[in-house]
Chains A and B, each alone.
Chain A
């Protein structure tokens, strides 16, 4: 158990809908990262937050947004969902900001029908 908790484990929704994925980092970790894992694109870094502030951005679509709350949990919001958004979404956390080991949650599997 990595100590990173993601909910829900599975999510099934329809095209055009909006969903929210939640992540609780390990106790004491200030950084949260979001990744998308799909069969054709592999594992893609989406975005990183550190202590409530956005710190690094990867291949995140404009339809996607994230935030980190004062209690350090994070949410990834996906809107106007398309079939191609079906993927595993992972959250990871680390203690600090730079070059820290990341601990991954078990992921949320999103299916867009």
Chain B
């Protein structure tokens, strides 16, 4: 089957700290992988994506690399800001065009 597993939160970091949010997936075929971010009171926004193995998605200082050998798509940022406080969702879309989301990881960045 298809599924996405991401590290449980909440995660609390100080400003300028290094961020890693782990995400692993199970999928048939060749899925595309995504990170979405949800700010309080808003819908999900696409943060970055990767469509094939070894692709690196990047946006706003966040990066994630599609690792087929480890079925992972970990999200990283070198120096977080208070404005990065949000819930982050890892997701995949399979060849059947079905979207699967992880449970979300809440990040709070304190000054």
The residues of A with any CB-CB pair to B shorter than 8 Å are 2, 4, 33, 35, 42-45, 48, 55-56, 58, 90, 92, 97-99, 101-107
Contact = CB atoms under 8 A, between A and B. Distances in A.
B104 A42 contact: yes
Interface string B85-106: 0000100010111111111100
Secondary structure class of chain A's binding surface, majority of residues: strand
Interface stretch (B16-24, B41-49, B67-75, B76-84): B41-49
Given A45-B98, A56-B98, A99 B32 contact: yes
Given A43-B103, A104-B44, 10 more contacts: A2-B45, A33-B99, A43-B89, A43-B101, A45-B100, A48-B98, A98-B97, A99-B97, A104-B36, A104-B45
Interface residues of B, number: 23
B58 interface: no
Contact of B98 (A42, A58, A106): A58
Contact of B44 (A45, A90, A97): A90
B98 A107 contact: no
